[in-house]
Amino acid sequence: MGGSAYRRLRQSRESGVLFVTIDAPPLNLLDVPLFAELERLAADVEGDDEIAVVVFTSADPDFFLAHYDIHDLLERGSRRPPARSGVLKRFHALLERYRTLPQLTIAQLEGAARGGGAEFAMALDLRFGALGRAVLGQPETALGIIPGGGATQNLPRLVGRARALEIVLGGRDLDAATAERYGLLNRALPADRIAAEVRDLALRIASHPGEAVRAAKRAVDAHVLPGHLGFVEEAELFGRQITTSAARERMRAFLAAGGQTREGEVRFGELIARVADEVRAAEVAGR
């Protein structure tokens, strides 16, 4: 996956986690070549069952993704607007593909993400920002346009309508602390700890059976279904998951290690981590 096809996305793997570093000097501009690599990466990741989590970081300390390329917008704006078709445009299709990947996706923001850069971060499952460094913003209306990569749809879902309007129409940057308070970031973390904390979370999630991670994400995404259909989806996924060999092996190992005893339950976190480590070690040894 990390071959010559990628010039702007550096990749490394560790225990089921794919770390993707955006490295597109001079400022990680979301231009056509980088866009094409992100499309290719989504296609590669989607079918890779060895990957449970994808973490996006940046090689540039000042920019995660600066914004979408204005030169491209000017060129497209010189043509007549396309007729309404009901089909997702290319940018929306890319972001929807990332949003619906079976793997969990994480944005580790240590610089600026504005416009299309912020919209890409919103398409990922989790977002963490470095205090004093990360900023997110939608400056499009100051340029006479509007957000075109999903911000008008995703921001109300994440922060509510009023704050979405504040962000879109105000056009000002949100620092990490404000973005966390608004709900745009999962957490704002000290700059010297964010990489370690995100890595620890990613590796912890990747230590779970991959099928369970994918099923849990599908179940959470079913919350948008009408009426009780989300519960129906959850029940089906739950019923299927408890029959898997990975789940049954881990549940038995949990009980054997002292689960559901008073002594075991008072050190639950330690117990569950030990079970995961032992099962993964056995899986590796059996390969």
Q: What percent of the chain has pLDDT over 70?
A: 98
Pick the CATH number of 9-205 from 3.90.226.10, 3.40.50.800, 1.10.760.10, 2.40.240.10: 3.90.226.10
| Residues 85 and 49 sit within 8 Å (Cβ to Cβ) | no
| Residue 285 pLDDT greater than 90, yes or no | no
User: ∠ CA 12-33-135 to the nearest 5 degrees?
Assistant: 70
Backbone angles phi, psi at 263, to 5 degrees: -65, -40
| Residues 186 and 128 sit within 8 Å (Cβ to Cβ) | yes
Report how far Cα 3 is from the mean position of its chain's Cα atoms. Answer: 23
For residue 54, the cross-strand partners are 18, 105
pLDDT, tens digit, 9 for 90 and up, residues 96-144? 999 999 999 999 999 999 999 999 999 999 999 999 999 999 999 999 9
CA gap 59, 287 in Å, rounded: 35
Confidence (pLDDT) at 3: 53
Specify the 3-state DSSP secondary structure of 129: strand
**Average pLDDT, stretch 75-84?**
81
Copy the structure tokens of residue 245: 């060999």
Say which range, 129-138, 207-216, 218-227, 268-277, has the weakest mean pLDDT: 268-277
| 3-class secondary structure per residue, 75-122 | HHHCCCCCCCCCCCCHHHHHHHHHHCCCCEEEEEECCEEECHHHHHHH
Q: CB count, 10 Å around CB of 265?
A: 11
Copy the structure tokens of residue 133: 């460094």
Copy the structure tokens of residue 132: 């004093």
Confidence (pLDDT) at 286: 73
pTM: predicted TM-score of the whole model, two decimal places: 0.93
| Residues 140 and 152 sit within 8 Å (Cβ to Cβ) | no
Between residues 279 and 34, the one the model is more confident about: 34
Query: What is the residue-averaged pLDDT of the chain?
Result: 94
Query: Domain locations in the chain?
Result: 9-205, 209-285
Query: Letter for the amino acid at 113?
Result: A
Instruction: Kindly indicate the confidence band of residue 78, based on its pLDDT and cuts at 50, 70 and 90.
Output: confident
